[in-house]
Chains A and B, each alone.
Chain A
Amino acid sequence: MAHVTIDTNVSRRGFIAGSAGLSFAFAFGLDASTKSSAQAAANTINAYVRIAADGTVTIVSPALEMGQGVNTSLPLIIAEELDADWSKVKVVSAPVADVYNHPILRTQMVVASLTLRGYWMPARIAGAQARQVLIDAAAARWNVGAGELTTEPGVVVHKASNRRLSYGEIAASAKAPEKLPEIKPDQLKPVASFRLIGKDVQRIDIVEKSTGAAQYAIDATAPGMVYGTLARAPVRASGPVSFNEDELKKMPGISGVFKFDHGVGIAGDSIVNVFNARRALKAQWRESPGSKTNSDAAQRVAQEKLRGKDVKGVMPPNSKPEGAMEGLAKAAKIVTGEYATDYVYHAQMEPHNCLAWVKPDGVEIWTGTQWATMARDQAAKVAGVEPGKVTLHQMQMGGGYGRRAFVEYVVDAVMLSKAAGKPVKMIQSREDDLANARMRPMTAQKIDAGLDADGNIIAWRHLIASDTVVPYLYGDGRWQAQKGFDHIVMAGADVGFYNIPAAVSEHIYEERGARTAAWRGIGAGHNNFAIEAMIDELAQQAGKNPVEYRIALLKDPRAKRVIERVAQMAEFGRKREGTALGIAFGKLGLPPIGFSMTGTVAEISLDRATGVIKCHNLWCAADVGLPVQPKNLVAQIEGSLIFALGSALKERVTLTNGAVDQHNFNDYQILKLSETPQIHVEVIRSGDIPLPVGELSIAGTIPAVANAFHALTGRRLRNAPFTPDRVKGSLA
Chain B
Amino acid sequence: MATYDLTVNGRAVKVTGESDTPLLWAVREQLGLTGTKYGCGAGLCGACTVHVDGVAVRSCQTSAASAAGKKVTTIEGLGANGLHALQKAWIAEETAQCGYCQSGQIMKAAELLARTPKPNREQIVEHMDGNLCRCGSYPRIVRAIERASREG
Contacts and interface: CB of A to CB of B under 8 A. Distances in A.
Interface of A: 66-69, 202-203, 205-216, 218-219, 221, 227, 252, 270-272, 275, 346-351, 396-401, 427, 429-430, 631-632, 635-636, 638-643, 664-666, 670-674, 676, 679
A639 B37 contact: no
Nearest to A678: B139
Contact of A635 (B17, B90, B140): B140
A664 B44 CA distance: 8
A318 to B, nearest CB: 36
B136 A664 contact: no
B42 A666 contact: yes
Nearest to A401: B134
Given A219-B34, A272-B21, A396 B134 contact: no
A673 B131 contact: yes
Given A348-B134, A349-B45, 15 more contacts: A67-B97, A69-B97, A218-B38, A349-B37, A349-B100, A350-B37, A396-B99, A399-B100, A401-B134, A430-B41, A635-B97, A638-B136, A639-B135, A640-B136, A665-B40
B97 A210 contact: no
Contacts of B22: 272
Nearest to A219: B34
Instruction: Report which residue of A67, A221, A643 has the largest number of chain B beta carbons within 10 angstroms of its beta carbon.
Output: A67
A674 B40 CA distance: 20
B132 A214 contact: no
Contact of A209 (B40, B99, B139): B99
A207 to B, nearest CB: 6
Interface of B: 17-18, 21-22, 25, 28-29, 32-42, 44-45, 47, 74-76, 79, 83, 87, 90-91, 94-103, 106, 125-126, 128-142
Contacts of A664: 40-42, 44
A349 B132 contact: yes
28 contacts: A66-B98, A202-B94, A206-B91, A207-B91, A210-B87, A210-B99, A210-B106, A211-B75, A211-B83, A212-B35, A212-B103, A218-B34, A219-B28, A221-B32, A270-B17, A271-B25, A272-B17, A346-B134, A347-B134, A349-B132, A349-B133, A350-B39, A351-B39, A396-B99, A631-B94, A664-B40, A665-B44, A666-B44
Contact of B34 (A69, A212, A430, A642): A212
A639 B97 contact: yes
A346 B83 CA distance: 32
Contact of B94 (A214, A400, A635): A635
Contacts of A270: 17, 21, 25, 29
Nearest to A644: B136
Contacts of B79: 211
Contact of B138 (A203, A351, A429, A642): A642
10 tightest Cβ-Cβ pairs between the two chains A and B: A212-B35, A209-B99, A398-B100, A642-B136, A67-B98, A212-B75, A639-B136, A67-B97, A209-B96, A219-B34
Contacts of A347: 134
A202 B79 CA distance: 21
A167 to B, nearest CB: 28
A670 B44 CA distance: 11
Nearest to B89: A210
A275 B18 CA distance: 14
B72 to A, nearest CB: 14
A271 B42 contact: no
A405 to B, nearest CB: 15
Contact of A67 (B74, B99, B138): B99
Contacts of B76: 211-213
Contacts of A429: 41
Contacts of A221: 32
B16 to A, nearest CB: 9
A203 B94 contact: yes
A343 to B, nearest CB: 17
Contacts of A205: 96, 99
A425 to B, nearest CB: 9
Contact of A673 (B18, B21, B141): B141
Nearest to B141: A673
Instruction: Report which residue of B36, B76, B132, B138 has the largest number of chain A beta carbons within 10 angstroms of its beta carbon.
Output: B138
A398 B29 contact: no
A665 B45 contact: yes
Given A215-B34, A676-B138, A430 B42 contact: yes
Given A350-B100, A398-B100, A664-B44, A670 B36 contact: no
A6 B87 CA distance: 44
Nearest to A638: B139
Given A219-B34, A349-B100, A665 B134 contact: no
A348 B35 CA distance: 17
Contacts of A219: 28, 34
B98 A210 contact: no
A590 to B, nearest CB: 25
A221 B94 CA distance: 28
A207 B95 CA distance: 10
A396 B103 CA distance: 15
A210 B42 contact: no
B98 A212 contact: no
A679 B133 CA distance: 16
B98 A396 contact: yes
Contacts of B98: 66-67, 348-350, 396-400
Nearest to B127: A673
